[in-house]
């Protein structure tokens, strides 16, 4: 009897400790983001006395976060739109049609999921420079679409493959072209999987740093992770403002997560369970 109670208490203790460990750092940053640096230095772990939401306005207009945020939105949304369309078409072709080389193409695309990014990043720098796309948002967008292509095809292919062939036969009898069959039948049916890859790619690209730091140089074209890094480099001691900047990057992710937590967890873990 006592053994059971003790075991139960131990389990609860582990759970409480890990929850504090996992969530603590973010709650701490959230409090700092609403306090000034001098308030923070006086008592690093105190709660905000006055909630200084105006710091967000200051960071937004005064420290370039409006530019970084806009750049992130532009690059990430365009890249996700491109990779969803391109990836869905490829996944559909690989799942639906039987042709020689089908599995080879799939394997080639799939194996690049584990590719270390250094193997492409130097040559991408050279290539984009030659094409005049170095230090442009268009260049970064195209690279981002290519980087997320394998994961997108991988998740969508397995979903498309489970769409019953009868559905396509019916579409053909109704006189749909192959193109119309894809956009009007396969794509809508695959909406749950499409939503998963859209959310997943958005978050992964929103956080991306390596390609951005190599392919973007000008301050006016920096995405949020680069902007935060630069701001930290310039204002190393202004912890209060840095924390506000961090929250500007975190909040959209938390919002997406709050709405789509199940979908996102599904997407993130899709590769691991298989």
Partner 1 sequence: MTSPRERPAWGAIVPFLLPATVFYLGLTAYPVIRTVWNSVHEVLPRREAYVGGAHYVELWADDTFWRAVRNTVTWALVAPFLEVSIALLLALALYARVPAARILRIAWFTPVLMSYVVVGIVWMWIYNYDWGAANAILRAVGLGHWAQPWLGTTDTALPALIVVTTWMWTGFNMVVLLAALHALPTEVIEAAELDRCGWGAKLTRVMVPLILPTILNLLVLSFVGKMKIFDLVWITTKGGPLWSTETVSTYVYKRAFEWSTFDLGYPSAIATVWFVIVMSFVAVLTWMVRRQQKLEY
Residues 78-97 that bind partner 1 (CB under 8 A): 85-87, 89-90, 92-97
In the chain, count of helices (H) and strands (E)?
A: 14, 0
Considering only residues 76, 151, 216, 228, which one is a binding residue for partner 1 as defined by CB under 8 A? 228
Distance between CA 181 and CA 167 in Å, rounded? 9
**37-76 binders of partner 1 (CB under 8 A):** 41, 44-45
Contact window for partner 1 (CB under 8 A) among 21-29, 51-59, 60-68, 189-197: 21-29
Evaluate whether 154 touches 111 at the Cβ level (below 8 Å): no
Place of tokens 């794509």: 187
**134-153 binders of partner 1 (CB under 8 A):** 142-143, 145-147, 149, 153
Distance between CA 273 and CA 250 in Å, rounded? 27
Tokens for 270, please give them. Answer: 């899709």
Considering only residues 210, 220, 251, 259, which one is a binding residue for partner 1 as defined by CB under 8 A? 210
Query: Is residue 177 classed as helix, strand or coil in its secondary structure?
Result: coil
Distance between CA 178 and CA 184 in Å, rounded? 10
**152-181 binders of partner 1 (CB under 8 A):** 153, 165, 168, 178-179
Evaluate whether 147 touches 204 at the Cβ level (below 8 Å): no
Cβ 104 to partner 1, closest distance in Å?
12
- Please give the span between the terminal C-alpha atoms of the chain, in angstroms, as a whole number: 40
Distance between CA 120 and CA 101 in Å, rounded? 25
Which is nearer to partner 1, 74 or 82 (by Cβ)? 82
Considering only residues 74, 81, 195, 232, which one is a binding residue for partner 1 as defined by CB under 8 A? 232
When asked if residue 189 is in the footprint of partner 1 (CB under 8 A), the reply is no
Cβ 54 to partner 1, closest distance in Å?
22
Q: What's the alpha-carbon Rg for the chain, to the nearest Å? A: 23
Cβ 62 to partner 1, closest distance in Å?
19
Q: How many residues bind partner 1 (CB under 8 A)?
A: 93
Cβ 92 to partner 1, closest distance in Å?
6
When asked if residue 2 is in the footprint of partner 1 (CB under 8 A), the reply is no
When asked if residue 272 is in the footprint of partner 1 (CB under 8 A), the reply is yes
């Amino acid at each position: 009897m006592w053994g059971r109670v003790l075991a139960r208490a131990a389990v609860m203790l582990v759970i409480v400790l890990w929850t504090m460990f996992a969530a603590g750092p973010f709650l701490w940053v959230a409090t700092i983001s609403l306090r000034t640096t001098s308030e923070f230095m006086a008592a690093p772990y105190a709660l905000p006395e006055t909630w200084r939401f105006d710091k967000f306005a200051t960071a937004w207009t005064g420290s370039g976060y409006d530019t970084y945020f806009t750049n992130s939105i532009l690059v990430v949304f365009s890249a996700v739109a491109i990779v969803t369309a391109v990836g869905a078409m490829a996944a559909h072709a690989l799942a639906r049609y039987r042709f020689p080389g089908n599995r080879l193409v799939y394997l080639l695309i799939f194996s690049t999921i584990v590719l270390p990014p250094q193997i492409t990043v130097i040559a991408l720098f050279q290539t984009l420079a030659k094409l005049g796309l170095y230090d442009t948002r268009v260049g970064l967008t195209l690279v981002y679409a290519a980087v997320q292509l394998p994961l997108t095809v991988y998740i969508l292919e397995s979903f498309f493959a489970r769409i019953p062939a009868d559905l396509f036969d019916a579409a053909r009898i109704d006189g749909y072209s192959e193109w119309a069959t894809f956009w009007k039948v396969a794509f809508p049916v695959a909406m749950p999987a499409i939503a998963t890859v859209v959310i997943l790619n958005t978050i992964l690209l929103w956080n991306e740093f390596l390609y951005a730091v190599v392919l973007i140089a000008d301050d006016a074209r920096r995405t949020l992770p680069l902007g935060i890094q630069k701001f930290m480099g310039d204002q190393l001691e202004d912890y209060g403002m840095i924390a506000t900047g961090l929250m500007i990057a975190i909040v959209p992710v938390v919002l997406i997560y709050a709405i789509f937590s199940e979908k996102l967890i599904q997407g993130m873990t899709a590769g691991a369970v298989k």
